[in-house]
Structure 1
Amino acid sequence: MPYTTALDYNWLFDMKGTQTSLISLPDKQSQLDQGPSFQEALYTISPESMDSSQLWPERRDSQPASEDLNNMQQLPLPSTNQSTHSASSDLVSKTAKKPGRRGRRTSTALVGPVDVGDQSTPNDIDRPFSLLSRRPVLPQINETIRKRLLQIIEATNPCLPESHHPLSNEPLLSVKSLQNYLDLYFTRFNTAYPLIHLPTFDVNNAEPLHLLSILLLGATYSNKDAHQLAVRIHDVMRPSIFAHAGFSPRPELWTLQTILLVECFGKSRAGQKQHDMSHLFHGLLINLIRRSDCQFVRPTGPPSDVVDHDQTLRDAWRRWSIAEQKKRLALLCFMWDTQHAVLFCQSLCMSAFELRVELPCSQRMWEAGDAMAWAAAWRSSQANHGQFFLPALKSYMTPSVPRPQGLSGLSRVLLFHGLMSIAWDMQRRDQTALGVVSGDNPGGHWRKIIGGAYETWKSDFDAYTLAVIGRLPRSSEDESQRSEHIAFATAYNTLYHSAQALLNMEFLDVQIYAGARNILGRPVQQKDYRRSARNVKQWASAAAKRDSSQETGQTQAKDALAKQSLEQPTTWGRNSANTAAWHAGRMLRDGTKILTGSDAMSLFHVPWCLYLATLTCWAFHHAGPLRGRGITASDEMADDSSDESDEMVWDPRGEMEALVTSMAEMGQRDSTSGISQRRQTNGLVWSMAEILTKVRWEIVQTGVKVLRGLVPQRLINQYDDPLGDSF
């Protein structure tokens, strides 16, 4: 459990902005370019924050940034009286469709136009899956480096697959292959999750274990044989890390990066064994990060009294790069910890309140090739260098706190994980209240606040994406960049929809009800299935009961209830099956075509979110009674054995599209589940299983087996074998 106190949450949920203890951002000079709405804001900080001498570091030297904000092309935010999802619909379809849900007002008003950061020209716009330079200079591996790596591999004595080649002659470990793995890491992994500073990374002087962890992750983006070889080496790598002379209770940066990369490999790029082992050592990584300065480090800018070619500037650049990498290590570790806690229903180990750091710098500054370019990027930056994580997070929770301007896409993603972390923590507090929490809807208040914060973030994120895409030239040369931003937005919209759905359901119960054999490393027993089946059926039936009671009322009463629902949302508890199903259908309708085949599919959360949405749609239609206009008692007795379901010509993709379209267009408080919708879930699970089969991750492949179990027996033989990866 992360360390949080009631004072932390009193500060965060202080909707009136009561100033019991006020602190301003520590560096006044760095706020010049932030805009009047944010630079003058004061933030209520908990006593724990005030008592720590390390949480808010001393002010740093910095150059005043340019104050000319008028050169930026800005698009206005969508009106708050419209659906917060209208912007995303424009991103994923050429024809605008009117959302079928009833618009719900968010609890936080959007302020001002969207500022896309220090990006004065289209070439400076962040690339979420690519390097800014079209011809990046990547580190080069030579034979000397290869020999050092082979010595490390031989010392670990991995259980390699049978080969006719000795290790020194293994083609998958040749200089050419190793170079390919290194290139893939920096062009595929490190672009999506910018952890290691490429311009200052010295491959010749890098610790072999550090370099090996980088190469193994890069190999997972290569062919199947290279991936399997990387898994074998990964299995025996941890003892070498712990036995290294540099491993200590306060390790160096390279040690922390190595442990984090090894954990990423095990959790999200390998099999069940590696996944479980990574969980065992996850607490070790968190404790090491807490013992370091990663959670409160503050990078300093270039000195003002030196010329650009001075050695002092180069030294300042390297110090900045180390501090920036430490900060990003803590933020990315927090992001992955939150994903696994919320999406996989596991324990949260890091708290958002631990992160007393600034948000990441711009991509232009991060990828500056030398000290002079870095100093120029720093001095010309229009985005504030001192935007702290916690005050920005509070701005999405509290109407009275203005949100910062100039946030990058990565910063917005990290802030959303902060909201997810708070939701998980609050839900766990409800579960451990031991009956202290009372009322008809325990947790309803905070769920309403979190749900509103999610929607506010979504509107902000969609407007940011539209602003970025709107500034791109309309030419075939920039079409790939446009597609990249659309894929990025779609990928994290899937996370948004998943988070909203998880506020309104218990996904562990849904998985067990769908036929999952193992949950959280434990086999599912019969009593577990009975309990989960009962919970899911109650969850899915509650919406039908509400709709039935509403339909028996008079028209005027229905209109009054509908008007009231617009102003004050109904249940935010576990019975909101309609809301969960709407978000699941919206995710599948808007995201499947865009994500399939794009680089966004390699993001850790995307395949699992698609799996989550698929099971949510299936459970919504199968666990509850048939509902909707025209449903009779005879319809309740109908099942898949009827003639219609036995037709020889079957269009699973067509059924999937029809189902998710109807679910996405229904209102969040409307519920329709007829015979046709139940049958269309066959096409849904079939199509999604085919898509997810291509994902080289055993956790997802286990989910594919669950989806296959939901397909009628007569269709099972039409499946091709999956990748057959034996991790």
Structure 2
Amino acid sequence: MPPKPAAYSHIRPGKTGFDSNESASGLFTPKDSNVRNSPPDGTFCAPGAAALTNKLDSLFLRRTKDSARPKDKDISQEAHARMLEVLKPISEIKEDNIYFSLPTMKQYLDLYWVHFDPLYPILHRATFDPSVVEPALLISIVTIGMAYSTDREASSLAIAIHRKFRNIVFLMIEDQPQVQLWVHQTLLLTNYFDKMLGSTVQYDMSQFFHGTNIALMHFSGYFKGLTEPTVVNTMDSVAADRQWRRWVEYETTKRTAFFAFICDTQHATLFRHSPILSAFEVRLELPCADASWAATDGIEFMHMHQEQMRLAHSGMVKWRASEAAALKSDEKNRIIGPTIGGSKEEALWPSFLHSLKRLIRLSREDQHEFQLATFSQFSCLILLHGLLSICWDMQWRGLLDMGIVSKRRMNEFKSKLESSFANWKSYFDYQLSKSNMPSITATVMFSTENSPSSTPGSDYKSHVNGQSSDGRESSRYILMQMNDYKNNSPMLCSNWAMFQLGLLALHVDTMSLRINAGSPNVLGRKIRIVDRENSNKSVHSWTKSEDGRLATWHGVQFMRRIAENESLLDQAVHIPWGVYLATLTIWSYEIYLTGENVPPPGSGQVKRNSDRKYLTANGQHIEYMLARQDALKYLRMMDTLGSTQTEDRGASRAAAAAGGPRPAAPDDIKREYPDGGTSVLAASMRMAMSDDERKQLVIGLVAYSTSLLMHIKWGFVVRGCEVLNNILKEYD
């Protein structure tokens, strides 16, 4: 019997919190059992209320009665045989390999749907049939599922497959510049595996081929000019299915293009790679609402698509100039909350560029807009990456160095982008508020196990009667009708992490931090002595600047939420890398803030006490409980002292200047940011405790982050963990 791959419920076999019966001085040792709750299965929240037609109501009742989604199609023996045929050149793959047997392939496919699809919904699950899909695409999907398996042998086999798999796919393309959709999907998923789930060598090599993937998509015309096929409402199941499948191909193509853009922007933001694709090259409409995408047959799609279009058309309203007018208008016209994105040029559905423009430049009073109910979490993720792409262009295209813009003008650009991030967050928080959840930054602090969540179909009768069970108006359920804003979903956690890391990256050169901290190579090249010397000077200068204080603030906010809900580490692959970057930012700021000529790690000039506090005598184990205790002490102290700062310091001023409403900020960031506030923070830090005491707590934070990352298997995270571990050995 082949081994049964366990559902991948935790990347780290280590602990994720305090054990009630463990002493505070107990050593951090990994456990064999996995403790993370599995993420949601991808079903979307319950459709709502009185605004729906009777037909849609009856359809919803049918769906809630059969709460489980239709069973996914399994991999057939014929499909498995075709996969083996494609992988013949790979010696590790044999018919008797238990890790590539038919039963295990089926389970790895399930792991893809459970863990990867909720983050990047680019394959249409309802129409996905393994028996007819191209074997190369199926291999790329299954190997991602293998990477999420708790069985290390399965993960190792997936890495071995990907050493040669890309060459096999390129042989299929030959010399055709325009290729079919499945080829693009295969190459993108393959490159994602190599970058985020593979070995350190595959991580470096993936960037070589990333540009090729983008160029192929340009040749195929995927980034502009896609036209949605006409959908004619019909109750004939055959005609409805035919239209549905044409629409699915269009929507899948669009989502594949956006996935390429997301990957490109993530590489630039997280790893400081040069982006291949600019946000201004993506001229597409945003993805459809979750309800249309999740439809399981043509008739259901007809109902959902019709409701989606009705909602979009009713959403073309003018911007409300004040909150009072907005509330009055809501009561009169049943408008669903703030609006985002549209313009007179967008007739049917919000486009990416116009929506991005509305985040950067607040609307005029006569500006037509789409209601927020037309935006899914995936659309929010795309818009966030649009902002990240613009941030990278502003910071690293040499505009300041070449004298194209002045330093004052660059600071104005940066403030405007900060306001844009705050606008994005206020829209996202409004969505969450309509599902009875707090803001995005507060929601991720809840334990995944204990966080409140809504059950599809609950309170439906009270909804259709115009009121929810707790007395609130039913109009808020129209938001939930079209989109899945489930509490603590992987997509929500991914949105939060990229939002926080984007703000951090806006104020720090993470490449300089990594080089100065002792990373052996960056961007695939070995680091020279002169590189470390230049980075050391850059870090010293950065710690004395406002950017240094702001980046540290955002790093503290990120790590505080990780410390209070460690299960976030397993919700998205890039979150552990965020722990590395945030920890490195905080450590660099504290170590170099008071010293004029502090040597970099690895120089042999660092003096430390003979007695270690967080490492055992042989340096092999970390005092996890003690490290976490000191890390939390530092993070909470910084959070208290940082009350003069805010994540959206320019948003209210920008909104007032534009004549629009001020973006609503959650309680944890409703703080005034007076001029010179960061200097107040620095002074408060010095008064709160001595420099040595604060630095000791920061080393505790490094120890804590190292203990969190040391059991994560992704190659790029392993490399970051090694850097933190070397810092800990040298400074503890």
What is the TM-score of this pair, normalised by structure 1? 0.69
Q: Distance in 2 between matches of 1:237 and 1:660?
A: 44
| Contact 2:614/2:627, CA 8 A, preserved across alignment | no
- The secondary structure found in structure 2 opposite 1:576 is helix
- The secondary structure found in structure 2 opposite 1:236 is helix
Q: Which residue of 1 aligns with 2:422?
A: 455
After superposition, residues 215-254 of structure 1 pair within 5 angstroms as 215-222=142-149, 223-244=151-172, 248-254=176-182
Q: Distance in 2 between matches of 1:175 and 1:316?
A: 33
Question: Is 1:497–2:431 an aligned residue pair?
Answer: no
| Contact 2:359/2:424, CA 8 A, preserved across alignment | yes
Q: Which residue of 1 aligns with 2:272?
A: 345
Question: Is 1:322–2:249 an aligned residue pair?
Answer: yes
Q: 5+ unaligned residues in a row in structure 2: which ranges?
A: 1-43, 51-55, 58-65, 313-347, 444-449, 459-483, 597-605, 617-622, 646-677
| Contact 2:198/2:714, CA 8 A, preserved across alignment | yes
Q: Which residue of 2 aligns with 1:277?
A: 205
C-alpha distance after superposition, 1:461-490 (max 9, x if no partner): 223223224499997884999984366444
Question: Is 1:408–2:335 an aligned residue pair?
Answer: no
| Contact 1:497/1:587, CA 8 A, preserved across alignment | yes
Amino acid at match of 2:561: D
How far did residue 293 of structure 1 move?
3.3
Q: Which residue of 1 aligns with 2:651?
A: none
The counterpart of 1:692, out of the listed 709, 715, 726, is 709
C-alpha distance after superposition, 1:292-335 (max 9, x if no partner): 2322313235213x4332x3322211110011011001111101
The counterpart of 1:260, out of the listed 188, 198, 207, is 188
Q: Which residue of 2 aligns with 1:706?
A: 723
Question: Is 1:467–2:438 an aligned residue pair?
Answer: no
After superposition, residues 410-559 of structure 1 pair within 5 angstroms as 410-431=378-399, 433-439=401-407, 441=408, 443-470=410-437, 478=455, 484-485=487-488, 488-542=491-545
- The secondary structure found in structure 1 opposite 2:728 is coil
In structure 2, the CA distance between the partners of 1:535 and 1:442, relative to structure 1 (3 Å rule), is farther
In structure 2, the CA distance between the partners of 1:373 and 1:682, relative to structure 1 (3 Å rule), is same
How far did residue 640 of structure 1 move?
5.0
The counterpart of 1:663, out of the listed 638, 650, 662, is 638
The counterpart of 2:107, out of the listed 174, 180, 189, is 180
Question: Is 1:597–2:567 an aligned residue pair?
Answer: yes
How far did residue 429 of structure 1 move?
3.1
- The secondary structure found in structure 2 opposite 1:167 is coil
Q: Distance in 1 between matches of 2:521 and 2:615?
A: 34
Amino acid at match of 1:612: L
Q: Distance in 1 between matches of 2:279 and 2:417?
A: 14
How far did residue 491 of structure 1 move?
3.6
How far did residue 245 of structure 1 move?
6.0
Q: Which residue of 2 aligns with 1:654?
A: 629
Q: Distance in 1 between matches of 2:268 and 2:452?
A: 42
Amino acid at match of 1:658: K
C-alpha distance after superposition, 1:542-582 (max 9, x if no partner): 4xxxxxxxxxxxxxxxxxxxxxxxxxxxxxxxx42111111
Q: Distance in 1 between matches of 2:76 and 2:506?
A: 51
After superposition, residues 20-39 of structure 1 pair within 5 angstroms as none
Q: Distance in 2 between matches of 1:714 and 1:503?
A: 28
The counterpart of 2:260, out of the listed 315, 333, 348, is 333
Q: Distance in 1 between matches of 2:486 and 2:694?
A: 32
Q: Distance in 1 between matches of 2:154 and 2:390?
A: 39
Amino acid at match of 2:260: C
Q: 5+ unaligned residues in a row in structure 1: which ranges?
A: 1-115, 125-131, 161-165, 543-574, 628-637, 716-727
Q: Which residue of 1 aligns with 2:28?
A: none
Amino acid at match of 1:580: A
- Of 465-474 and 427-436, the range deviating more from structure 2: 465-474
Q: Which residue of 2 aligns with 1:19?
A: none
Report the count of equivalent residues: 540
Q: Distance in 2 between matches of 1:352 and 1:646?
A: 45
How far did residue 641 of structure 1 move?
2.9
Question: Is 1:158–2:90 an aligned residue pair?
Answer: yes
In structure 2, the CA distance between the partners of 1:535 and 1:482, relative to structure 1 (3 Å rule), is same
| Contact 2:378/2:491, CA 8 A, preserved across alignment | no
Q: Distance in 2 between matches of 1:428 and 1:151?
A: 45
Q: Distance in 2 between matches of 1:378 and 1:371?
A: 10
Q: Distance in 2 between matches of 1:215 and 1:133?
A: 26
In structure 2, the CA distance between the partners of 1:357 and 1:383, relative to structure 1 (3 Å rule), is farther
| Contact 1:514/1:706, CA 8 A, preserved across alignment | yes
The counterpart of 2:74, out of the listed 117, 140, 154, is 140
| Contact 2:214/2:276, CA 8 A, preserved across alignment | yes
Amino acid at match of 1:141: I
After superposition, residues 88-167 of structure 1 pair within 5 angstroms as 119-120=47-48, 134-154=68-88, 157-160=89-92, 167=94
Amino acid at match of 1:581: T
Q: Distance in 1 between matches of 2:245 and 2:692?
A: 64
C-alpha distance after superposition, 1:432-486 (max 9, x if no partner): 75234335x4611211111111112122222322322449999788499998436
Q: Distance in 2 between matches of 1:468 and 1:694?
A: 35
Q: Which residue of 1 aligns with 2:699?
A: 682
What is the TM-score of this pair, normalised by structure 2? 0.68
The counterpart of 1:386, out of the listed 343, 349, 358, is 349
C-alpha distance after superposition, 1:181-214 (max 9, x if no partner): 1111122111211011111222111111111111
- Identical-residue share of aligned pairs (%): 28
- Of 244-253 and 344-353, the range deviating more from structure 2: 244-253
| Contact 1:430/1:437, CA 8 A, preserved across alignment | no
Q: Which residue of 2 aligns with 1:583?
A: 554
Q: Which residue of 2 aligns with 1:291?
A: 219
C-alpha distance after superposition, 1:203-240 (max 9, x if no partner): 11111111111111111111211111111111111222
| Contact 1:497/1:583, CA 8 A, preserved across alignment | yes
How far did residue 383 of structure 1 move?
4.0
How far did residue 492 of structure 1 move?
2.4
- Of 370-379 and 460-469, the range deviating more from structure 2: 460-469
In structure 2, the CA distance between the partners of 1:182 and 1:298, relative to structure 1 (3 Å rule), is same
The counterpart of 1:615, out of the listed 581, 584, 595, is 584
How far did residue 278 of structure 1 move?
1.7
Q: Distance in 1 between matches of 2:384 and 2:712?
A: 25
Q: Distance in 2 between matches of 1:338 and 1:685?
A: 27
| Contact 1:331/1:414, CA 8 A, preserved across alignment | yes
Question: Is 1:303–2:237 an aligned residue pair?
Answer: no
Q: Distance in 1 between matches of 2:187 and 2:729?
A: 44
The counterpart of 1:312, out of the listed 218, 234, 239, is 239
Q: Distance in 1 between matches of 2:112 and 2:615?
A: 48
- The secondary structure found in structure 1 opposite 2:544 is helix
Q: Which residue of 2 aligns with 1:362?
A: 289
Amino acid at match of 1:485: N
Q: Distance in 2 between matches of 1:532 and 1:349?
A: 25
After superposition, residues 559-570 of structure 1 pair within 5 angstroms as none
Q: Distance in 1 between matches of 2:177 and 2:362?
A: 42
- The secondary structure found in structure 2 opposite 1:404 is strand
- The secondary structure found in structure 1 opposite 2:186 is helix
How far did residue 602 of structure 1 move?
4.5
Amino acid at match of 1:535: S
In structure 2, the CA distance between the partners of 1:168 and 1:137, relative to structure 1 (3 Å rule), is same
In structure 2, the CA distance between the partners of 1:486 and 1:255, relative to structure 1 (3 Å rule), is closer
